[in-house]
Structure 1
Amino acid sequence: MPEPYAKPHLSYERQVGKLIERGLHVPDVAAAAELLRHIGYYRLTGYLHSFRPIDEAGPDGHDQRLNSYVEGSTFEQVVALWRFDRGLRLLLLDGLEQFEMSLRTSLAYRAGMIDPFIHHRPELLAQAFVDGSPSPYDEWLEKYEKRLRESKNEAFVKWFEHKYESRLPIWTAIEILEFGQAVRLIHGLPTDLRRQIAGDFGLARPRAFESWINSLNGVRNFCAHHARLWNRTLITIASRPREGEIPRLDHLADLDGVARVKVYAPIAFLVWCLDRTPWGADWKRELIRHLRTFPDLPQGSLANAGFPEEWESLELWAQ
């Protein structure tokens, strides 16, 4: 049965003291306290999980970690790991922005060929998207109208509404949609349109492509909220490509159950997608350069993020 929470508030200095009591080497207490002031105790200690020794005699029969740190663990090591993860998030946000712009453009281009106002014509959308009361489309449209009201002072919206007695066409509306709304609209398109959009990214199966979009959207949210990526178990897991469907991603089938739910798989898919763009090679080069800077730690490696042992030797990562 859960117990009441009774832990007291701790000053930054006492938070450092708690780390020291658990076996972390902290050579400069004042400097460590100042870092905690700007990073936060719980954010930083999330990176310390793998520094805790495993108690193989856990009461529930599963391996559990002790509330102490393995001998030789230092404050500098955990800060280096945090800095590495922060750099990874920034690089992924850059790559995800490029992917998102390509996806938005594909959605507007393909859907606009059917009807410039397809997002206002439920009869042109997938039946499952418009069925029900309220339907998924009703909920989508409500959020879209809210975004439109919030964007009324955008220059392009004001200009359009001044010049035309019309709703925004899809290629204009796409600019005010949140990424999640754009993804939801893709799910609501007819299968032929979804297949065309997936084809723009080299996939024949729209459902598989959309599972990757959902996975990337989850990673994007973690990055945008400055959450830890290294050693994180993801919530939204994409379906693995079929053998030969994307040859450079065939190695994802070899990932074990733990690695499959880490961040490597969506990173690999993003690398593959951006390799097809004019700027993808430069971005991949920067990503590889950063991955090579992973700190030398007694506990933890890129494997904790799902990376295969010889990841750089894979065809996907060739430069």
Structure 2
Amino acid sequence: MRVPDHGHATHCLQHISYYRLRAYWLPCEDAAPADGEHRFKAGTSFDDVLDLYIFDRKLRLLVMDALERIEVSLRGSWAHHLAMKYGPHGYLDPTHYTRPDYYAKAFASLIEEIDRSKDTFIVHYKTKYDDPVHPPIWMTAEIISLGQLSKWLGNLKLRPDRQAVSKPYGLDEKVLVSLAHHLTYVRNICAHHGRLWNKQFTVTMTVPNSPAALKLAMNPASERRLYNTLAVLGYLMGIVAPGTQWRQQLFELIASNPFIDLAAMGFPEDWQSRPAWKFRSGPDM
């Protein structure tokens, strides 16, 4: 590997660590001539590896930006529908859920989350009210995690309830429940600063069959790669914040680093021309 600036490389290895950075130069290695040996492809530069590392960090931040807004929107859709149909505390009624054991685990986790919360509105509720003991759903929606929300949503007994929560996004309820579970997994990777760009996911999502533009954007040959996730995030951002520049920012980020192997991310060759990647104007949020 060429190292144009040894001082800079030493600094990076000190503050990033050899082991962490090594994951980004693995694509630059040739097949090892013997076990335990490593050899780089001709022309490999430390600066190229560092650029890939920086690209991955920027990609995580961009994905987290979308996840934040989508998670907040999904919480709101869940809380609004259940509050309007079952009342402020109806979401805690176990008869609304299919699996009592799943409900018991989700309820216990939720109570732990509420008890740990120091948010002003939770403290105020506990101080002022003792019946019902637990806060209304619109308060719960402010502290529930995306992973917990996916469990509450997926365990709802009535399909029309799940469909009502899914309706604002134009997705079938099975797709949305699967997607919420998958996005929780992706969010955890990003939150723990894990490698994202060429990650092979173990928790995947159900590929949407509608709307048509999103279905056409999908790459069924790479269900465990990042591309499909980015396509769905771009689609949802177009709904949650139709004026957002998120997709344009993704285009620019990819274009900024020609070293990126898009095939390793699951991108089809014609991805930019697919309808789901077209931009719309409107208010950002």
TM-score (norm 1): 0.80
Aligned mates of 1:79, 1:212 — CA distance in 2:
32
Asked if 1:147 corresponds to 2:113, the answer is yes
SS class of match (1:73): coil
Distance 2:181 2:105 in 1: 18
> CA-to-partner distance for each residue in 1:209-242, whole Å, 9 max, x for gaps?
2112222221111111111111110111112222
Q: Distance in 1 between matches of 2:193 and 2:59?
A: 11
Give the 5 Å matches for 1:65-214.
67-113=38-84, 114-123=86-95, 125-127=96-98, 129-130=99-100, 135-151=101-117, 153-165=118-130, 166=132, 167-190=134-157, 191-203=159-171, 205-214=172-181
Q: Is 2:10 aligned against 1:44?
A: no
The runs of 5 or more residues in structure 2 that have no matched partner are 280-285
Percent identity of equivalent pairs = 29
Q: C-alpha separation between the residues in 2 aligned to 1:221 and 1:254?
A: 23
For 1:17, the equivalent position in structure 2 comes to none
Helix, strand or coil for the counterpart of 2:8?
helix
Alpha-carbon distance change, 69 to 224 in structure 1, aligned in 2, over 3 angstroms: same
Structure 2 SS opposite 1:238: coil
- Secondary structure of the corresponding residue to residue 174 of structure 1: helix
Greater shift after overlay, 259-268 or 89-98?
Answer: 259-268
Q: Are the aligned partners of 2:70 and 2:236 in contact in 1 as well (CA < 8 Å)? A: yes
Specify the alignment match of 1:16 in structure 2.
none
Task: Report what 2:264 is aligned to.
Answer: 304
* Counterpart in the other structure of 2:6: 29
Q: 1-side partners of 2:89 and 2:142: how far apart?
A: 14
Equivalenced residues, count: 275
Is 277-286 or 46-55 further displaced after alignment? 277-286
Task: Give the structure-2-normalised TM-score.
Answer: 0.89
Task: Note if contact 1:25-1:74 (Cα within 8 Å) is conserved in structure 2.
Answer: yes
Taking the TM superposition and a 5 Å limit, the aligned residue runs for 1:215-234 are: 215-234=182-201
Which one-letter code corresponds to 1:265 in the other structure? N
1:252: Cα distance to partner?
A: 4.8
| Alpha-carbon separation, structure 2, partners of 1:206 and 1:228 | 30
2 CA distance for matches of 1:253 and 1:93? 21
* Higher normalized helix content (fraction of residues): 2
